[in-house]
Amino acid sequence: MAKGYWVSVYRTIADPQRLAAYDKLAGPAVKAAGGRLLSRSSRVVAHGAGIAERTVLIEFDSFEQAVAARASATYQEALAVLSDGVERDFRIIEGLD
């Protein structure tokens, strides 16, 4: 079964306090859903049209698990706290078998 990944690239952080509050809720929500934080870094080398800002990579045992984690009530609480505090490109992708 192919793994699932959350890939999140932050374009701008308008409200660092909202982001910090989101992090406190999102971390436990992701972990409870089976996610493993692989990287959360502001140290990025971007090429082409890439964005050299905070990038987060989270791994799940399956694509379906990654999709379900995003829809979970606990993660939705985190998103409500984050609100418009950031602008980011968030994707759920399927890994290779």
How do residues 21-41 score in pLDDT, each as one tens digit? 999 999 999 999 999 999 998
pLDDT band at 68 (very low <50, low <70, confident <90, very high): very high
Angle at 14 between CA 70 and CA 85, to 5 degrees: 30
pLDDT of residue 64: 98
Q: Read off the pTM.
A: 0.92
Residues contacting residue 15 through CB under 8 Å, at least 6 positions apart = 84, 85, 86
pLDDT band at 75 (very low <50, low <70, confident <90, very high): very high
Write down all domains in the chain, each with its CATH number in brackets.
4-94 (3.30.70.100)
Residue 88 has a pLDDT of 96
